[in-house]
Structure 1
Amino acid sequence: MKLSLLLKSILSTSVVSSIFISQLAYAENVRLRMHTFYGTELDSIAEDFRDYVSNASDGSIRIQFLRGGELVDSDQFVDAVARGTIDIAHGVGSYWPGRVGIGTIESGLPGAWFSVEEARDIFTNQGLDELVAEAYEEQGVKLIGRGYGSDYGLLTSEPVTSLADLRDMRIRSTSSIATVLENFDIPTTFLPAEELYVALSTGLVDGAIYGGPLDYEQLKLHEVAQYYTDINLLNPGWTESVLINPGSWERLTEEQKEILKGAISKYLEDIHNWLEEGNQRIINEGELFEFARLPEKDSRRLTEASLPIWEAEAKKSDRNARAVEILINNAIEQGRLSE
């Protein structure tokens, strides 16, 4: 009888200890507000991400997911994370180059890389992400994820067979791409993505460099422009950053941090795969767009015209100069530049 009571006491103590240890592992239930620049098209991926985090953390981490424009404008993400208005932001560095000087380089300079594998190597193994993380830290936020976009082609209302064809067109583009195109007397302008449909349908612009076939399908641009041209200037056409408020990060236990980082890595990879598979599906179906490729000699001319942009970015700071040096060394290694 005494032995039975002793065993019960030991078992009871063991159970209490297990519960106590479990509570220590997740010392605090954490709710995090995460904001992306994407819209409803990512809802299923976002739901998988939230469920994964909740299940892996035994419910100790809960994510409130906000779509593009719901609470904070995408170009204000760095400020919002630093202030704690949101805990986590998923955006693109080119949205805030005035706040984070390396942002334009981070998102992708024309001619910087030509495959996901090359871009990943530049960031992970050649030191670019270390420089980017330093820049974000100075602005009061922490970089905890790197995503890779997808195709970055030209969509036009008329067929394009060479750079010369573009001289009679007005092309929507970002500032860095515009600088390249203007070397070939190609008129450019910038418009937000949500204005592209009307601009193309009314002739305000004749084409756009914004993303891949899936991006154009999501915006229904196939209804007003049917010619997709691979300009072979940058692939992936952008990279994505996930930033977290340092205070929110430090509230997490080490195990929770690993769970969150792993979940974000999977989330970003799921987005990349969704883009790649969607682009390939549209190409294979061949119904929405007519596909073409810019002649190799013209693509090479575009790449050569990009170098002044690299030089201009390098002059902005010592950090930028080190980042551009990484890109130059990589281009030499890849045989795109001579020493």
Structure 2
Amino acid sequence: MNFSKIARSTTAGMIAGAVSLVALASAATADTVRLRFHTFYGTEIDPIADKFKDAVKEASDGSLRIQYFRGGELVASDQFADAVSKGTLDIVHGHGGYWSGQVDIGNIEAGLPGAWTSVEEAKSIFESEEVNKLLTEAYEEAGTVFLGKGYGHNYDLLTKEPVSSLEDLKTRKIRATSNVAKVLDYFDIPTVYLPAQELYISMSTGVIDGAIYGGPVEYEQLKLHETANHYTYLNMLMPGWTETFLANPAKWEKLSDEHKAILETAIAQFAEDIHNWLAEGNENVAEGTFEYASLPEADSKELTVAAQSVWQEEAARSPRNKAFIDALIANAKAQGRLQ
């Protein structure tokens, strides 16, 4: 028996088998769709992100994978719309205010003062056929695909001294973003803008007397409860912000209908999980950390009235913005916040 010939034959067979396995593995890898997904959140939502990635992988039997990037890792958050339109990113999770200079409707859909006062109300607005169409058209013109919304949570006032009415704030300096500052100016309430990292020292040294920044959990994370502990529900905007998911058109069109459905379902759950995480965080702030109060209903309604100048500024930017503002006005009237 020619053992050399047998050995050569066996070796050749093993090599052929190995080559076949490599070819199969390469084919499987080639068939796997990988999407670059960028959020504006950091490591704080990693468990939610892991659940999201696993859900996409499992629902697609591994044929669809998410390459997940946290805030600032690849692209600055205010560049998301541009990056996803150019294909630098495949899907982004951001906030309309980041790209309001690029998308006319951005500030409105992010959340204007007085626009809605509950998550249910916000959802009813965004899920309406009229508003959904406005969003879809706006983001299509910006070279992106609108995939859906996410909802933040509390966005209220923290002060050193208790607040029983808007009148109380006329002698206090409040940190606020530009749109909220315009509303407070209507009541002659002095405001200043400061970034989050400056709030602790500013509050503790008396540079400001209060801040409108977020909910109890955000104030606790910034340790602001060490400087002020009076939390006042304004009933001006809840959720205080909304979140937006956008996709690159070319990448989205290449996906199968099955993959699109999987992503839409997983993204909706991802958004809901973030909202629930925010809600639980606010609910679980230790008792005694803050003393809670609410503005009188009449004052809260006045905030919506005062916000009309801000709304009309946005409405003047485009016919589409006006249509969105008209929808907000109709809703506010239906809710009894406007006459």
The 3 A distance-change label for structure 1 pair 220 and 60 is farther
| Cα distance, 1:212 vs structure 2 | 1.2
Q: Who is 2:204 aligned against?
A: 201
Distance in 1 (CA, whole Å) between partners of 2:39 and 2:174 is 27
| Cα distance, 1:255 vs structure 2 | 0.4
Distance in 2 (CA, whole Å) between partners of 1:165 and 1:52 is 49
**Which amino acid in structure 2 is aligned with residue 144 of structure 1?**
L
1:190-230: CA deviations, max 9, x gaps?
23333333333343332221211122223332233222110
Alignment of 1:35-184 (within 5 A): 35-184=38-187
Percent identity, aligned pairs only? 58
- More displaced stretch, 197-206 vs 253-262: 197-206
SS at match of 1:210: strand
1:242-295: CA deviations, max 9, x gaps?
11111221231110110011000000001111111221222xx42321111112
Distance in 2 (CA, whole Å) between partners of 1:325 and 1:70 is 38
Distance in 1 (CA, whole Å) between partners of 2:206 and 2:295 is 23
Distance in 1 (CA, whole Å) between partners of 2:294 and 2:336 is 21
TM-score, scaled relative to structure 2: 0.87
- Which of 216, 221, 242 is matched with 2:219 structurally? 216
The 3 A distance-change label for structure 1 pair 60 and 300 is same
Q: Who is 2:193 aligned against?
A: 190
SS at match of 2:214: coil
Distance in 1 (CA, whole Å) between partners of 2:223 and 2:35 is 33
Distance in 2 (CA, whole Å) between partners of 1:157 and 1:40 is 31
SS at match of 1:32: strand
Distance in 2 (CA, whole Å) between partners of 1:172 and 1:95 is 20
Q: Who is 1:303 aligned against?
A: 304
SS at match of 2:228: coil
Alignment of 1:231-250 (within 5 A): 231-250=234-253
Which blocks of at least 5 consecutive residues in structure 2 are unaligned? 1-23
Q: Who is 2:262 aligned against?
A: 259
Q: Who is 2:35 aligned against?
A: 32
Which blocks of at least 5 consecutive residues in structure 1 are unaligned? 1-19
| Cα distance, 1:27 vs structure 2 | 8.2
Aligned length: 314
CA RMSD of aligned residues (A): 2.0
| Cα distance, 1:105 vs structure 2 | 0.8
